[in-house]
């Protein structure tokens, strides 16, 4: 055990090393329900600092096995991914450079906030499409390491499709460039030997010997953030071997990200939202069948509790919408208030977005869908056309979790079943079964929001962390929900990743053989277990339950 860890680290890095109680307390939490107190927080200044940190831990691992490094960007993770009892490597202070935006890509460091990246890309009418709902507060490091997705993933897919290449410090303490390799380039890497040659040789052998098993293991849903994406590494048809595909979404367990080259897409000019109000789930299957063939940009949902929250906290929404006039904002919500007076709030509010460069075309498409749903399914609908009206609905969808975190005084968000996905054709049966599970816990309040277009839902219970019954509910309800998800062929996490909360369920989801391949992958990349231990592999429910926050 190193007695003066902070002092030792100050000798090897140019950046800041801090271990004040206030700093350690801040970095003991993310947006999850966990608390893990680190020994020290390092704010590296450059790539050399990252290399020195990895070498430092690698050299001292034998004497102090508890030493490890966990990367952190904005700290908005909901799974406990950036929490660690050793050294936190925080990228938000100095790793904030955005390279020149090119015709279709940009180089970005992990501490860059997505909101700042978008400001730069929009100057060239380009956008990085896999941003999550937390777009105003999240950073690129988390987006890449969690393989994030969001409202545009229905059309464009997740982050794994948009990382062209990346630079990362691996367990040998050196910077490596990961990018797609053809057969000749792969053989050259292997022939060169050394750490990198061994890495490529072992990973190629693992994939080759287990190719069919891995293809069968790939979740049959549109989005997945569970486990290591071993099935994506080797494109057999194109004969391309790409370790970027396993690093993205690995949650910092394979190395420290220095920067990534992100692919961008053109930003289309016009948008329309069709708002659909569902008072029961019966029309949901037919509704989905009517919407998806139209290829919307996004197809989102949130429940009545989410809408109530938005209307309850008008001042916060006024600030988010850039207005100080509460009365003006109240008029914007007048239709929703009238809805409550006439027939109560709907159980689900859906929003279907059409985007394009021909305003008349998307306007006609939105109106045609609205008319069809009213006529054929007898549903109440609305077409939101003005940017201000559309922004109101998007804010309800995007900001609900932040409002929950900061505004509910006696209860707190407990995201332990917050990101499952099942194929949309199963939702009509799946959702009532899910509600039946929740109904067994009298008084449990929860909100539902998500991406109905691909069957990905975020269910956030509100609980009293101090209540002893809370841990019991988490221990009982989590396995039941995930069993239901797997019964319908889904994934336990579509976007938020495994972290502390879901890593213990990976063997149940994939089976023993595939889980052993995950363990082998970790050993190949990180034989000394330097990077973010206890995530993906070598986790336990006992550890998770013992680190639930006791106070907020």
Tens of pLDDT, residue by residue over 244-261, are: 999 999 999 999 999 999
| Tens digit of pLDDT at every position of the chain (552 positions) | 677 999 999 999 999 999 999 999 999 999 999 999 999 999 999 999 999 999 999 999 999 999 999 999 999 999 999 999 999 999 999 999 999 999 999 999 999 999 999 999 999 999 999 999 889 999 999 999 999 999 999 999 999 999 999 999 999 999 999 999 999 999 999 999 999 999 999 999 999 999 999 999 999 999 999 999 999 999 999 999 999 999 999 999 999 999 999 999 999 999 999 999 998 888 988 999 999 999 999 999 988 887 777 666 656 655 655 555 555 555 566 666 666 566 678 888 999 999 999 999 999 999 999 999 999 999 999 999 988 888 888 877 877 666 666 545 667 788 999 999 999 999 889 989 998 999 999 888 888 888 999 999 999 888 888 888 889 999 999 999 999 999 999 999 999 999 999 999 999 999 999 999 999 999 999 999 999 999 999 999 999 999 999 876
CATH tag, 277-487 = 3.40.462.40
Backbone angles phi, psi at 536, to 5 degrees: 75, -60
Residue ranges per structural domain of the chain:
5-94, 105-266, 277-487
Give the pLDDT score at 401.
63
CA distances from 209 to 196, 203, 205, 219, 439 (A): 20, 10, 6, 20, 46
Domain 105-266 has CATH 3.30.465.10: yes
Record: fold of 5-94 = 3.30.43
- Global pTM? 0.93
Return the ∠ at Cα 291 (arms to 286 and 293), rounded to 5°: 110
CA distances from 263 to 11, 39, 160, 203, 257 (A): 38, 37, 10, 25, 17
Sorted by sequence, the CB contacts under 8 Å of residue 511 that are 6+ apart come out as 217
Give the pLDDT score at 303.
87
Give the pLDDT score at 281.
84
- Beta-carbon count within 10 A of 378 CB: 8
- The two tokens of residue 15 are 């950046």
Give the pLDDT score at 171.
98
Sorted by sequence, the CB contacts under 8 Å of residue 525 that are 6+ apart come out as 170, 171, 199, 253, 254, 255, 531
pLDDT in tens, 56-67: 999 999 999 999
């Amino acid at each position: 055990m190193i007695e003066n860890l902070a002092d030792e680290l100050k000798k090897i890095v140019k950046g800041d090393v801090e271990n004040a109680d206030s700093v350690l307390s801040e970095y003991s939490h993310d947006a999850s329900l966990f608390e893990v107190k680190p020994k020290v927080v390092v704010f590296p200044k450059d790539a050399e600092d990252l290399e020195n940190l990895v070498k430092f831990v690698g050299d001292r691992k034998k004497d102090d096995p508890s030493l490890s490094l966990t990367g952190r960007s904005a700290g908005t993770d909901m799974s406990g991914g950036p929490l660690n009892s050793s050294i936190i490597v925080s990228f938000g202070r100095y790793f904030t450079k955005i390279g020149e935006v090119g015709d279709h890509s940009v180089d970005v460091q992990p501490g860059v906030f997505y909101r700042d990246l978008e400001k730069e890309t929009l100057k060239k009418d380009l956008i990085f499409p896999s941003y999550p709902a937390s777009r105003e507060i999240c950073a690129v490091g988390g987006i890449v390491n969690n393989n994030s997705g969001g409202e545009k993933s229905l059309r464009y897919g997740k982050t794994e499709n948009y990382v062209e290449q990346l630079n990362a410090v691996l367990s040998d303490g050196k910077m490596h460039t990961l990018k797609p390799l053809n057969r000749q380039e792969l053989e050259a890497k292997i022939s060169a030997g050394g750490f990198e040659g061994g890495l490529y040789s072992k990973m190629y052998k693992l994939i080759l010997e287990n190719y069919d098993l891995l293809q069968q293991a790939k979740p049959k849903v549109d989005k997945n953030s569970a486990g290591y994406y071993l099935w994506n590494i080797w494109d057999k048809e194109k004969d391309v071997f790409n370790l970027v595909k396993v690093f993205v979404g690995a949650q910092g367990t394979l190395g420290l990200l220095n920067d990534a080259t992100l692919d961008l897409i053109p930003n289309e000019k016009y948008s329309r939202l069709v708002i659909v109000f569902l008072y029961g789930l019966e029309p949901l299957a037919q509704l989905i069948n009517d919407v998806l063939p139209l290829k919307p940009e996004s197809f989102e949902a949130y429940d009545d509790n989410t809408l109530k929250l938005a209307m309850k906290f008008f001042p916060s929404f006024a600030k988010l919408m850039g207005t100080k006039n509460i009365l003006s904002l109240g008029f914007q919500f007048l239709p929703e208030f009238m809805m409550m007076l006439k027939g109560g709030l709907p159980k689900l509010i859906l929003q279907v977005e059409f985007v394009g460069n021909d305003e008349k075309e998307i306007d006609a498409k939105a109106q045609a869908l609205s008319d069809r749903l009213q006529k054929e399914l007898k549903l109440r609908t609305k077409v939101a056309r003005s940017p201000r009206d559309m922004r109101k609905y998007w804010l309800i969808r995007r900001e609900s979790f932040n409002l929950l975190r900061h505004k509910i005084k006696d209860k707190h968000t407990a995201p332990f079943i917050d990101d499952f996905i099942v194929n949309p054709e199963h939702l009509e049966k799946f959702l009532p079964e899910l509600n039946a599970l929740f109904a067994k816990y009298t008084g449990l309040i929860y909100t539902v929001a998500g991406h109905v277009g691909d069957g990905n839902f975020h269910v956030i219970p509100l609980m009293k962390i101090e209540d002893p019954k809370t841990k019991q509910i988490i221990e009982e309800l989590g396995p039941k929900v995930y069993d239901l998800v797997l019964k319908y062929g889904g994934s336990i996490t579509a976007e938020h990743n495994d972290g502390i909360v879901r890593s213990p369920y990976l063997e149940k989801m994939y089976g023993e053989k595939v889980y052993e391949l995950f363990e082998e992958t970790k050993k190949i990349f990180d034989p000394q277990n330097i990077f973010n231990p206890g995530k993906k592999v070598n986790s336990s429910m006992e550890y998770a339950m013992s680190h639930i926050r006791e106070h907020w």
